[in-house]
Structures are given as C-alpha cells and as structure tokens.
Amino acid sequence: MSIFEYNGSALVAMVGKNCFAIASDRRLGVQLQTIATDFQRISKIHDRLFLGLSGLATDAQTLYQRLVFRHKLYQLREERDMKPETFANLVSAILYEKRFGPYFCQPVIAGLGDEDKPFICTMDSIGAKELAKDFVVAGTASESLYGACESMFKEDMEPEELFETVSQALLSSVDRDCLSGWGGHVYVVTPTEVKERILKGRMD
C-alpha cells in the first residue's frame, strides 16, 4: 500500500462568488483500521486563509506546525497576515526543501486575497503548485472528487448554494472510497464570516 494511502483522506476546495468553501472528511485510519472519526484535516492560518493537508497524518501535523511557526514570524515582522498567494509559495518552498526525502502530504490552500477575490490551489508532495479557478481536490478519494466536482460545479455560486454543492460532491466521493469518510467538515468563508459545519454521511 502506498504511504499516501496509509491514513486515508479527502479534501476539496471550491470557489464561489466572493467566497470559497473548503471541506474534508473526518476519518483517521491506520490502513484498514479506523482509529478516530473526528480528525481535523483543515486548519485556519488566519481569518481569510485555510489550509487542508491530506496524506500521511504525522507529516501533515509536522508540516502544519512548521507553517504556523513561519506565519507567526511573518506576522511579527510584517505586522499583517500573509496573502494566500504568498502562503502558497511558502508551502511550495518548504515542500521542495525536502525534495529527496519529502513530506508525504498534499496540501490544499484556500483564501480570500486582495479585493476579497477567492484563491485556491493544491500542490503535490514536492511543491508543484496547481492553481485553479473553480475547484481543487486531494486525498485518497481525489479521483472520485474530480468527477463529482466537475459535474456539480457552477460559476459564481452564492455561499449557501456553494455549501450544498461542496457537501454533495464530498459525500458522494468518499462513499466510493473505503479509506475516507465518516462524515464531513465544511468551512464556507465570505469576507464577513466563516461558517463551519459538520456533515453526517454514511458512517462506514
């Protein structure tokens, strides 16, 4: 079994009208065994920037700690939050540092940039960035997620419709993947508020 599939994960980020949604599954497993059904894959870097880390959970935790450290230092020096584009470059650089002994993670970055323009991107485990205007996916359920998002996505969705779309795409994709699932965690971020919701899906 691949090291990327050791813990199991599913992540998706989608762009709407002046907002974005980022969602993940909640399963933490060790190959075939489920350890926990409340694992947090998405973390807040600041009010307008969220990071999701799929792949090996230990590397996701280490990488998250390193990135929070770097962002806090940036905040102290620059006296402001990092822009999403800048943060994506930072993640990419940190991943490539370990080119010949990488972190086994695939990050998904979603944020609101200048003028509240939503920004999403993903990258592979050595930092190759993939910017997208509509949606990005990562994790063991990524192939199903590509299909589900491609068919359900529409341009310029309002936050409520975006939440429905992301939730349906996530739940239907993780249902076809035995290593991810056990519910969902969805963040819908607009310039004024962050709405966090927990989805109840098939608990298997």
Give the interface with other proteins as residue ranges (CB under 8 A): 7, 28, 30, 33, 35-36, 39, 56-58, 61-62, 101
Least Å distance between CB 98 and other proteins?
9
Choose between 93 and 203: whose C-beta lies nearer to other proteins: 203
Choose between 84 and 139: whose C-beta lies nearer to other proteins: 139
Choose between 107 and 111: whose C-beta lies nearer to other proteins: 107
Q: What is the 3-state secondary structure (H, E, C) of 26-94?
A: CCEEECCEEEECCCCCEEEEECCEEEEEEECHHHHHHHHHHHHHHHHHHHHHHCCCCCHHHHHHHHHHH
Least Å distance between CB 30 and other proteins?
7
Give the phi and the psi of residue 46 in degrees, each rounded to 5.
Answer: -150, 180
- Residue in 46, 67, 63, 54 with CA at minimum distance from that of residue 27: 54
Choose between 67 and 149: whose C-beta lies nearer to other proteins: 67
Query: Distance between CA 115 and CA 84 in Å, rounded?
Result: 12
Q: Which two tokens stand for residue 166?
A: 């992301």
Q: Tell the residue number behind the tokens 């997620």, with chain if given.
A: 145
Residue 160, CA distances (Å) to 71, 97, 152, 156, 186 in order:
30, 39, 14, 12, 12
Choose between 61 and 75: whose C-beta lies nearer to other proteins: 61
Do the Cβ atoms of 26 and 185 come closer than 8 Å? yes
Choose between 30 and 93: whose C-beta lies nearer to other proteins: 30
Give the phi and the psi of residue 101 in degrees, each rounded to 5.
Answer: -165, 65
Least Å distance between CB 94 and other proteins?
15
Least Å distance between CB 28 and other proteins?
6
- DSSP 8-class letter at 178: T
Least Å distance between CB 177 and other proteins?
20
Least Å distance between CB 136 and other proteins?
25
